[in-house]
Structure formats: structure tokens, C-alpha cells
Amino acid sequence: MRTTKTMLRGAVALLLFLSFHSSFASYAGGSIMGQVVDPVSKEPVSDATVVLDCQGNQKMFFTNEKGFYYASNIPAGVYTISISYMSNRTTIENFKIGNDEVREANAELNASVNIGEVVKKEYRVALIDPLQPQGVRTIEREDIKHMPIQKLSQIQESMPGTIDANGQFYVRGARAGALSYYIDGARVMGSADIPLCGLDTYRSYTGFLPPKYGDCTGGAVVMETRNFFTEH
């Protein structure tokens, strides 16, 4: 019985010693601190990534809004410090740090990013879009300007599959009134005859009809008017 108590006391003492030793060892590392600035503007580089590498063992840190970073509890050794921001990178090699030692490692890093030459290309709607199903035609404002028309209804007259009989449009055999009009996303229950000068885009569906216009039994005309965003 006595032997058992002695062994238990010895085990507890050993655990306390090991716990104290590991606790001391975990806080016996060194510290590395520094600031990262832009070499041209001399402004601090925030959110830069700082990686400390010692024989494959890595620790990662980030700079604050003033460009400072602080790496504590670093095991003694020789480190490679890699600092990167966007596509720019700088490296400090053979940086030695000892236990309970505080050392400074400042760096200069270009914070600007060179995106190369910018190519500007104007987008134009193709006369025949291979991605659009049959029975869909879109006319832009620039094309409407050159059309020999005087009113909006004359645009629909030129659409395939549409017959005009006494001011009523019949689309692919559907009855009169089966052609629905939408202006700026809202369905128009009355007359949709708006001035041509206020029209930006005219899209006619006389064949394929998207599901969102599923309550139409004939076709649909979707119009977008000129606004602030189309003029700038």
C-alpha cells in the first residue's frame, strides 16, 4: 500500500515537472518584428503576408494598417522571411533568431500592381446571334435610327411570322391580342406605342418564348427605354 502511494506521488511530481518544463519551453522562443513599406511612396503596406520558414516549418503573419507585424514565440533557428502582397514579393534569407531574443526585420515591398496594357473594345450586338434561339430578334437604338419607320408599330411589322390586319398583329396564327408588350420589365395592359426617340432596345419573341413570359399565347415584345445608364 505504501509502495503504491509512493509511486503515485512520484508520477504526480513527474507530471508537474514536465508540465512546468513544457510551459517554460513554449514561452522561451524569440520574437521577430518589423515594418513593411513601399520603397517609392514610403507608405506602409497593410495586409501583406509574412511567412517565416525554417527547414520547412512555417509560420504565417499579416501586417496591420501601419505595415507592422509581430511574430512571437519563434523557436530558435535560421529563417527565410518571405513577404508578399498581390503579385509582389521580397525575401530576407539567413535570418537568425535565438531563444528569448527580439530582432527587427524591416522590408520594402512595392504595393502597386502592374496590370499591363488595357485593350478597349466596344461591344456590339451581332445581327445573327448563334446563342439566341430562332424567332428572337433584338434591335438597338442605333439600328432603329436608320430604319425607314415613323412609329413603333412599324418595327413589329418587319418581324418574321407577324401579320398586320387592321392594326392587329397576329403572331404565327395566334388570335388578335395574343402579343404581349413589356416596357422596362413591366407588362403593359394598354397601348405600348411610345415615341421612337425614347426607345433604347426592342426585342421581339415570335418563336421561342422564355418561361417568364409563359402567360403569353402568341408572342412578346420587350422594350427598354433610354435612361441615365444608357446615356453614359
Return the pLDDT at 205.
86
pLDDT digits (tens, 9 = 90+) for 119-171: 777 766 666 666 566 678 888 888 888 888 888 888 888 887 788 877 778 88
pLDDT of residue 129: 62
Helical residues (DSSP H) of 41-184, grouped into ranges: 141-145, 153-157
Say what the pTM is: 0.44
The whole-chain average pLDDT of the chain stands at 80
Contacting residues for 90 by C-beta, under 8 A, at least 6 apart? 82, 83, 84, 107, 108, 109
How many CB atoms lie under 10 A from the CB of residue 137?
19
Do residues 217 and 209 make contact, with C-beta atoms less than 8 angstroms apart?
A: no
Q: How far apart are CA 125 and CA 227, in angstroms?
A: 19
- What CATH fold (topology level) applies to the domain 136-225? Ferric Hydroxamate Uptake Protein; Chain A, domain 1 (2.170.130)
Cα distance between residue 9 and residue 206, in whole Å:
93
Q: Which three cell numbers stand for residue 72?
A: 512571437
The pairing of strands 199-205 and 186-188 is unpaired
| Domain coordinates in residue numbering, the chain | 30-108, 136-225
pLDDT per position as a tens digit, 15-71: 544 444 444 344 457 899 999 999 999 999 999 999 999 998 999 999 999 999 999
Quickly count helices (H) and strands (E) in the chain. Answer: 3, 15
- pLDDT attached to residue 125: 60
Class of domain 30-108: mainly beta
